[in-house]
Amino acid sequence: MKNIAVIGAGTMGNGIAHTFAQSGYKVQLVDISQESLDRGMNTISKNLDRMVAKERITAIEKQQTLDNITTFTNLEEGVEYAGLVVEAATENVDLKLKIFESLDEATGDDCILATNTSSISITQIAAVTRRPELVIGMHFMNPVPIMKLVEIIRGYSTSDATTQTIMELSEKLGKVPVEVNDYPGFVANRILMPMINEAIETLYNGVAGVYEIDTVMKLGMAHPMGPLQLADFIGLDVCLSILEVMYEGFKNPKYAPCPLLVNMVRAGKYGVKSGEGFYDYKESRKADKVAAMFS
């Protein structure tokens, strides 16, 4: 399995492509927008530059990583020779189902189809393919090149062989794979998102301000980032999508998104990627500073 296709050149997609390419795999990075591909490749190059500056890799290794990535705007061409496809598109159920229907038609019969979804049912995604035993969740953490964890999520029909293959592949990337079962939010977000949502509720109810809430959690609970800062980094739209999936899946009010989060997303305040969320990232290029913290 030397040819890996990655669908989506956004934050997670370009990070996944970077990680595979740096580990010596040939990567086909696919997106419908050439602009998105160019932006993704620029992000990869900048992140590699930071690694060179910190002497984690050499300039030659940077170039080898970039040379391992080929970009495509045509899905069929991009996945033609792939032994594994990792989908990293927007966290939207209908979009992912359409992508997997297309992947099922465009890839070889033995190609494993993985999704980087952070909350959507692997079983539901697998059901639109003719190979549910080869469909699996491969949930990387952001920023992908740095974070060690990969949640490996088995759908109802995912085979032992597929799971073992992806577990071993994750280890070859220098990651720590953890196998979990297919329930809304899996493990990471089932625990994390209610905490973030409660922090937003605390702000919404006027208990304390943004800085105060994050400071309590950083200094009192030894969290490297406060929950509101982390929500900005993840993307408030992503947080909202995950909470909605969990609320729909469990029908439990504890997963209902805070009205403040809903209104911020409606207003286009998504966090770092939009320049404003609970913090303002427009001044002094704060967004770049946040990204640099994790490189």
CATH of the domain at 258: 1.10.1040.10
Question: Sign of the C-alpha dihedral, residues 265, 270, 271, 275?
Answer: negative
Residue 293 maps to a domain: no
- The residues annotated as belonging to the active site are 118, 139, 151, 189
Residue 43 maps to a domain: yes
Residues 131 and 223 in one domain: no
Residue 102 maps to a domain: yes
SS3 label, residue 255: helix
Residues 101 and 128 in one domain: yes
Residue 291 maps to a domain: no
Confirm whether residue 273 is marked as ligand binding: yes
Residues 161 and 199 in one domain: no
Confirm whether residue 13 is marked as ligand binding: yes
Backbone torsions φ then ψ of 200, nearest 5 degrees:
-65, -40
- Helix or strand holding residue 153 (H, E): strand 149-154
Q: Phi-psi bin for 206: left (phi > 0), alpha (psi -120 to 50), beta?
A: left
Question: Which pLDDT value is given to residue 44?
Answer: 98
Chain centroid, CA 244 distance in Å? 17
Confirm whether residue 218 is marked as ligand binding: no
Residues 93 and 176 in one domain: yes
Is residue 19 a contact partner of residue 144, using CB atoms and an 8 Å limit? yes
Residues 167 and 52 in one domain: yes
SS3 label, residue 100: helix
Residues 199 and 268 in one domain: yes
Q: What is the pLDDT along the chain (295 residues), one digit of tens a residue?
A: 899 999 999 999 999 999 999 999 999 999 999 999 999 999 999 999 999 999 999 999 999 999 999 999 999 999 999 999 999 999 999 999 999 999 999 999 999 999 999 999 999 999 999 999 999 999 999 999 999 999 999 999 999 999 999 999 999 999 999 999 999 999 999 999 999 999 999 999 999 999 999 999 999 999 999 999 999 999 999 999 999 999 999 999 999 999 999 999 999 999 999 999 999 998 645 445 444 444 4
Confirm whether residue 108 is marked as ligand binding: no
The boundaries of the domain holding residue 153 are 3-181
Residue 38 maps to a domain: yes
Question: Which pLDDT value is given to residue 282?
Answer: 86
Neighbouring CB atoms inside 10 A of 24's CB total: 12
Residues 235 and 253 in one domain: yes
SS3 label, residue 179: strand
Residues 75 and 170 in one domain: yes
For the chain, the domain total comes to: 2
Residue 281 maps to a domain: no
Residues 59 and 78 in one domain: yes
From 181, 201, 229, give the residue that closes a domain. Answer: 181
Residue 295 maps to a domain: no
pTM of structure? 0.89
Q: What is the residue type of 180?
A: V
From 181, 207, 234, give the residue that closes a domain. Answer: 181
Confirm whether residue 96 is marked as ligand binding: yes
Residues 131 and 174 in one domain: yes
Confirm whether residue 271 is marked as ligand binding: no
Residues 212 and 161 in one domain: no
Is residue 187 a contact partner of residue 151, using CB atoms and an 8 Å limit? yes
Question: Which pLDDT value is given to residue 288?
Answer: 53
Confirm whether residue 9 is marked as ligand binding: yes
Question: Which pLDDT value is given to residue 283?
Answer: 66
Confirm whether residue 118 is marked as ligand binding: yes
Q: Locate 61 and state its tokens.
A: 């290794």
From 163, 181, 199, give the residue that closes a domain. Answer: 181
Residue 282 maps to a domain: no
Residues 141 and 167 in one domain: yes
We report the CATH number of the domain holding residue 48 as 3.40.50.720
